[in-house]
Amino acid sequence: MWYWKPYTTVAELMEKAERTAARLKTAEPVLPHPHTRKICLTWWGEAWCKNLESYADYESRLGRGRRYFRAKAVVDLKIRGNVVKAKVQGTEQRPYQITITFETPKNKDIQAITEKLSNRITNIDDLIKGNFPEDLKELFTQKKPGLFPSPNEIHFDCNCYDWADMCKHVAAVMYAIGVKIDDDPSCLFELRGVDMNKFINAVIKDKVEEMLKNVNKKSDRIIKNADVSAIFGL
């Protein structure tokens, strides 16, 4: 016989989650940023959330997923290659077990992105911080080929009773992944099975080679000793 469970308030859910996180000895909880309602703060994290929210298939579950994430219900999250294993506290005493698997983009798609980015990003710091032109941001976030996953490239599994592919527990984990990417953009590359070091090397290769070619050339901006003497009256 089916019956509706009593509504669990955010405060009750948060209290349950805190108890569970304390009980799990090897847990790696993902907590919302303090003092803000924003899920993510960096370009990479925000781009992840925008990509997630752009798919109508997920729309009905995302609101409840945000509620669960803000209640600190993601009590454990571990990224191992393109697989995410997580535990989310729900209304039951034990947390739900979630597995999310991301498909790796085709080599030709990654190659296409790499070629278009080549020599447009001049240093690793700009790449990590998302400091690049708008057209390059669109290159990362475009549907095909893009670095951010489409729905058919993500496979969900949760042991809750919800029949939907993306239940609220999975949605909470997806937002938690955004926060992990917020802290370390290399997580996105790992999830997509892309070697970030090789990607960066390919993207800035031409720029590095150009710098190495000019390393022994004297710059026209270097002032000769005689000119220094004339300038300062030596």
Q: What angle separates helix 134-141 from helix 107-117, to the nearest 10 degrees?
A: 180
Give the per-residue pLDDT at 223.
41
Give the per-residue pLDDT at 62.
94
- The b/e string for 76-99 (b: 16+ C-beta within 10 A; e otherwise) is bbebeebebebbbbbeeeebbebe
Q: Does 110 map to a domain?
A: yes
Give the per-residue pLDDT at 41.
94
Give the per-residue pLDDT at 106.
86
Q: Which residue range(s) make up the domain with 195?
A: 10-232
CB 7 within 8 A of CB 50: no
Q: Does 4 map to a domain?
A: no
CB 173 within 8 A of CB 29: no
From first to last of its 234 residues, what are the pLDDT tens digits of the chain? 444 556 678 889 999 999 999 998 888 999 999 889 999 999 999 999 999 999 877 888 899 999 999 999 999 999 999 999 999 999 888 999 999 999 998 888 888 877 777 766 666 777 777 877 777 788 788 777 778 998 899 999 999 988 777 899 999 999 999 999 999 998 998 999 888 877 777 777 655 444 444 445 554 544 444 553 444 444
Q: Does 126 map to a domain?
A: yes
Give the per-residue pLDDT at 72.
95
SS3 85: strand
CB 89 within 8 A of CB 13: yes
Give the per-residue pLDDT at 119.
65
Distance between alpha carbon 52 and the CA centroid of its chain, in Å? 11
How many structural domains compose the chain?
Answer: 1
d(C-alpha 163, C-alpha 165), whole Å: 7
Q: Does 173 map to a domain?
A: yes
Give the per-residue pLDDT at 231.
42
Q: Does 3 map to a domain?
A: no
d(C-alpha 14, C-alpha 209), whole Å: 53
Q: Does 1 map to a domain?
A: no
Closest CA to 9 of 131, 91, 111, 123: 91
> 41 is written with which tokens?
């703060």
Q: Does 224 map to a domain?
A: yes
Q: Does 66 map to a domain?
A: yes
